[in-house]
A = this chain, B = another copy of it.
Amino acid sequence: MPQGKPLTVPEDGLTTRQRRHRPLLIVHTGEMKGKSTAAFGLALRGWHQGWSIGVFQFVKSAKWKVGEEAAFRALDEVHTETGKGGPVDWNKMGEGWSWARKKGSTEDHAAAALEGWREIARRLDDHTHDLYVLDEFNYPLHWGWIDPNEVVETLRMRPGRQHVVITGRYAPDVLVAAADLVVDMTKVKHPMDAGQKGQRGIEW
Protein backbone atom coordinates (compact mmCIF):
# COMPACT_ATOMS: atom_id res chain seq x y z
CA MET A 1 0.00 0.00 0.00
CA PRO A 2 1.38 3.40 -0.96
CA GLN A 3 1.87 4.89 2.47
CA GLY A 4 5.33 6.21 1.69
CA LYS A 5 6.57 7.40 5.07
CA PRO A 6 10.35 7.16 4.99
CA LEU A 7 11.96 6.43 8.34
CA THR A 8 14.80 8.85 7.78
CA VAL A 9 15.56 11.60 5.32
CA PRO A 10 18.97 11.03 3.76
CA GLU A 11 21.55 13.76 3.27
CA ASP A 12 22.07 12.92 -0.39
CA GLY A 13 21.24 16.34 -1.77
CA LEU A 14 18.29 14.91 -3.72
CA THR A 15 14.78 16.33 -3.70
CA THR A 16 11.87 14.11 -2.66
CA ARG A 17 10.87 13.93 -6.29
CA GLN A 18 14.31 12.79 -7.36
CA ARG A 19 14.39 10.15 -4.64
CA ARG A 20 10.92 9.05 -5.63
CA HIS A 21 12.14 8.33 -9.14
CA ARG A 22 15.40 6.62 -8.35
CA PRO A 23 16.00 3.36 -10.18
CA LEU A 24 15.70 0.34 -7.90
CA LEU A 25 17.62 -2.88 -7.68
CA ILE A 26 15.29 -5.42 -6.10
CA VAL A 27 16.22 -8.95 -5.00
CA HIS A 28 13.74 -11.72 -4.15
CA THR A 29 15.53 -14.55 -2.43
CA GLY A 30 14.90 -17.22 0.23
CA GLU A 31 13.79 -20.83 0.11
CA MET A 32 10.07 -20.29 -0.30
CA LYS A 33 7.67 -19.82 -3.19
CA GLY A 34 6.81 -16.28 -4.22
CA LYS A 35 10.17 -15.02 -5.52
CA SER A 36 9.32 -15.20 -9.21
CA THR A 37 5.58 -14.68 -8.85
CA ALA A 38 6.21 -11.44 -6.92
CA ALA A 39 8.61 -10.28 -9.64
CA PHE A 40 5.99 -10.90 -12.32
CA GLY A 41 3.31 -9.29 -10.18
CA LEU A 42 5.55 -6.22 -10.01
CA ALA A 43 5.95 -6.35 -13.78
CA LEU A 44 2.15 -6.05 -14.09
CA ARG A 45 2.40 -2.65 -12.40
CA GLY A 46 5.21 -1.65 -14.75
CA TRP A 47 3.20 -2.84 -17.75
CA HIS A 48 0.31 -0.61 -16.65
CA GLN A 49 2.73 2.37 -16.46
CA GLY A 50 3.59 1.78 -20.11
CA TRP A 51 7.11 0.66 -19.29
CA SER A 52 9.20 -1.39 -21.65
CA ILE A 53 9.74 -4.69 -19.83
CA GLY A 54 12.56 -7.11 -20.55
CA VAL A 55 12.24 -10.58 -19.06
CA PHE A 56 15.20 -12.94 -18.97
CA GLN A 57 14.48 -16.36 -17.56
CA PHE A 58 17.54 -18.31 -16.51
CA VAL A 59 15.71 -21.64 -16.56
CA LYS A 60 17.11 -24.81 -18.08
CA SER A 61 13.93 -26.01 -19.71
CA ALA A 62 11.72 -24.23 -22.22
CA LYS A 63 8.75 -25.90 -20.54
CA TRP A 64 9.18 -24.16 -17.18
CA LYS A 65 6.96 -21.29 -16.08
CA VAL A 66 4.85 -21.15 -19.19
CA GLY A 67 1.95 -19.49 -17.35
CA GLU A 68 3.56 -16.13 -16.74
CA GLU A 69 5.06 -16.23 -20.22
CA ALA A 70 1.68 -16.79 -21.89
CA ALA A 71 0.07 -14.00 -19.86
CA PHE A 72 2.81 -11.47 -20.61
CA ARG A 73 2.90 -12.39 -24.28
CA ALA A 74 -0.85 -11.69 -24.32
CA LEU A 75 -0.28 -8.35 -22.57
CA ASP A 76 2.41 -7.48 -25.10
CA GLU A 77 -0.12 -8.12 -27.87
CA VAL A 78 -2.67 -5.96 -26.07
CA HIS A 79 -0.07 -3.19 -26.08
CA THR A 80 0.68 -3.63 -29.79
CA GLU A 81 -2.97 -3.70 -30.75
CA THR A 82 -4.49 -1.11 -28.43
CA GLY A 83 -1.60 0.95 -27.07
CA LYS A 84 -2.57 0.01 -23.52
CA GLY A 85 0.27 -0.78 -21.14
CA GLY A 86 3.82 -1.30 -22.35
CA PRO A 87 5.77 -3.72 -24.54
CA VAL A 88 7.11 -6.96 -23.07
CA ASP A 89 10.17 -8.67 -24.50
CA TRP A 90 10.35 -12.25 -23.22
CA ASN A 91 13.60 -14.23 -23.36
CA LYS A 92 14.16 -17.71 -22.06
CA MET A 93 17.47 -19.47 -21.76
CA GLY A 94 15.90 -22.94 -21.93
CA GLU A 95 14.72 -22.50 -25.50
CA GLY A 96 17.87 -20.69 -26.63
CA TRP A 97 17.96 -16.91 -26.17
CA SER A 98 15.73 -15.18 -28.69
CA TRP A 99 18.57 -13.00 -30.01
CA ALA A 100 21.07 -15.87 -30.34
CA ARG A 101 21.82 -16.83 -33.92
CA LYS A 102 22.62 -20.46 -33.27
CA LYS A 103 20.09 -22.26 -31.15
CA GLY A 104 20.57 -25.49 -29.34
CA SER A 105 23.76 -24.29 -27.70
CA THR A 106 21.90 -24.50 -24.41
CA GLU A 107 23.45 -27.83 -23.50
CA ASP A 108 26.22 -25.75 -21.99
CA HIS A 109 24.15 -23.96 -19.35
CA ALA A 110 27.08 -21.98 -17.97
CA ALA A 111 27.91 -20.53 -21.39
CA ALA A 112 24.24 -19.85 -22.11
CA ALA A 113 23.82 -18.06 -18.79
CA LEU A 114 26.86 -15.89 -19.42
CA GLU A 115 25.60 -15.10 -22.90
CA GLY A 116 22.29 -14.01 -21.35
CA TRP A 117 24.06 -11.72 -18.92
CA ARG A 118 26.19 -10.14 -21.68
CA GLU A 119 23.04 -9.21 -23.57
CA ILE A 120 21.44 -7.76 -20.43
CA ALA A 121 24.58 -5.67 -19.82
CA ARG A 122 24.38 -4.34 -23.39
CA ARG A 123 20.71 -3.46 -22.98
CA LEU A 124 21.34 -1.73 -19.64
CA ASP A 125 24.09 0.29 -21.26
CA ASP A 126 21.67 1.28 -24.08
CA HIS A 127 18.80 1.94 -21.64
CA THR A 128 16.64 -0.47 -23.64
CA HIS A 129 14.02 -1.25 -20.98
CA ASP A 130 12.47 0.43 -17.95
CA LEU A 131 12.14 -2.80 -15.98
CA TYR A 132 14.31 -5.90 -16.20
CA VAL A 133 13.16 -9.16 -14.65
CA LEU A 134 16.15 -11.47 -14.27
CA ASP A 135 14.28 -14.57 -13.21
CA GLU A 136 16.28 -17.29 -11.41
CA PHE A 137 19.41 -15.24 -12.06
CA ASN A 138 20.79 -15.88 -8.57
CA TYR A 139 21.57 -19.50 -9.48
CA PRO A 140 24.18 -18.83 -12.19
CA LEU A 141 25.70 -16.24 -9.84
CA HIS A 142 25.75 -18.74 -6.98
CA TRP A 143 27.26 -21.44 -9.14
CA GLY A 144 30.03 -19.12 -10.33
CA TRP A 145 28.94 -19.10 -13.97
CA ILE A 146 28.73 -15.32 -13.89
CA ASP A 147 30.87 -13.05 -11.69
CA PRO A 148 28.63 -11.31 -9.13
CA ASN A 149 31.12 -8.43 -8.82
CA GLU A 150 30.89 -7.74 -12.54
CA VAL A 151 27.09 -7.81 -12.31
CA VAL A 152 27.01 -5.40 -9.38
CA GLU A 153 29.44 -3.04 -11.09
CA THR A 154 27.40 -3.05 -14.32
CA LEU A 155 24.19 -2.43 -12.36
CA ARG A 156 25.82 0.39 -10.39
CA MET A 157 26.84 2.10 -13.64
CA ARG A 158 23.52 1.66 -15.45
CA PRO A 159 22.30 4.96 -16.89
CA GLY A 160 18.92 6.63 -16.40
CA ARG A 161 16.03 5.06 -14.60
CA GLN A 162 16.11 1.33 -15.18
CA HIS A 163 14.59 -0.89 -12.49
CA VAL A 164 15.99 -4.39 -12.08
CA VAL A 165 14.43 -7.33 -10.23
CA ILE A 166 16.52 -10.43 -9.61
CA THR A 167 15.06 -13.67 -8.26
CA GLY A 168 16.32 -17.00 -6.99
CA ARG A 169 17.70 -18.64 -3.88
CA TYR A 170 21.22 -17.97 -2.69
CA ALA A 171 21.52 -14.28 -3.62
CA PRO A 172 25.24 -13.50 -3.33
CA ASP A 173 26.23 -11.17 -0.45
CA VAL A 174 27.70 -8.62 -2.82
CA LEU A 175 24.35 -8.39 -4.64
CA VAL A 176 22.38 -8.04 -1.40
CA ALA A 177 24.78 -5.29 -0.33
CA ALA A 178 24.24 -3.43 -3.60
CA ALA A 179 20.45 -3.83 -3.71
CA ASP A 180 17.92 -1.21 -2.62
CA LEU A 181 15.26 -3.70 -1.63
CA VAL A 182 15.72 -7.32 -0.62
CA VAL A 183 12.92 -9.69 0.36
CA ASP A 184 13.50 -13.14 1.79
CA MET A 185 10.58 -15.46 1.06
CA THR A 186 10.58 -17.36 4.33
CA LYS A 187 8.86 -20.68 4.80
CA VAL A 188 6.22 -20.93 7.46
CA LYS A 189 4.50 -23.95 5.95
CA HIS A 190 4.71 -25.85 2.65
CA PRO A 191 2.37 -28.58 1.38
CA MET A 192 5.32 -30.74 0.30
CA ASP A 193 6.15 -31.10 4.01
CA ALA A 194 2.84 -32.92 4.26
CA GLY A 195 3.65 -35.10 1.26
CA GLN A 196 1.70 -33.12 -1.29
CA LYS A 197 3.11 -32.76 -4.81
CA GLY A 198 3.45 -29.72 -7.02
CA GLN A 199 0.49 -28.94 -9.23
CA ARG A 200 -0.44 -27.19 -12.42
CA GLY A 201 -1.49 -23.56 -12.07
CA ILE A 202 0.26 -23.31 -8.73
CA GLU A 203 3.84 -24.36 -9.38
CA TRP A 204 3.96 -23.42 -13.05
Interface membership of chain A positions 5-28, coded 1 if the CB is closer than 8 angstroms to chain B and 0 otherwise: 111111010001001111010011
Residues 113-159 of A at the B interface (beta carbon under 8 Å): 130-131, 136
CA A183 to CA B185, docked complex, whole Å? 6
Instruction: Please give, as numbers and ranges, the residues of chain B lying within 8 Å of A189 by CB-CB distance.
Output: 176, 179-182
Across the interface, do A71 and B85 meet the contact criterion of CB distance under 8 Å? yes
Across the interface, do B183 and A188 meet the contact criterion of CB distance under 8 Å? yes
Instruction: Please give, as numbers and ranges, the residues of chain B lying within 8 Å of A5 by CB-CB distance.
Output: 192
Instruction: Please give, as numbers and ranges, the residues of chain B lying within 8 Å of A202 by CB-CB distance.
Output: 24, 42, 45, 163
Across the interface, do B44 and A67 meet the contact criterion of CB distance under 8 Å? yes
Residues 60-83 of A at the B interface (beta carbon under 8 Å): 64, 66-68, 70-72, 74-75, 77-78
CA A184 to CA B31, docked complex, whole Å? 11
CA A187 to CA B191, docked complex, whole Å? 23
Instruction: Please give, as numbers and ranges, the residues of chain B lying within 8 Å of A180 by CB-CB distance.
Output: 189, 191, 194, 196
Instruction: Please give, as numbers and ranges, the residues of chain B lying within 8 Å of A85 by CB-CB distance.
Output: 70-71, 74
Q: Does A59 contact B (CB under 8 A)?
A: yes
A residues bordering B, Cβ < 8 Å?
A: 1-10, 12, 16, 19-22, 24, 27-30, 32-34, 36-42, 44-49, 51, 59, 64, 66-68, 70-72, 74-75, 77-78, 84-85, 130-131, 136, 163, 176, 179-204
The 6 closest A-B pairs by CB, nearest first: A37-B41, A45-B67, A182-B188, A48-B67, A10-B195, A34-B38
What are some 10 contacts across the A-B interface (CB < 8 A)? Answer: A1-B59, A8-B195, A20-B197, A24-B191, A24-B199, A32-B183, A34-B38, A37-B41, A37-B42, A130-B201
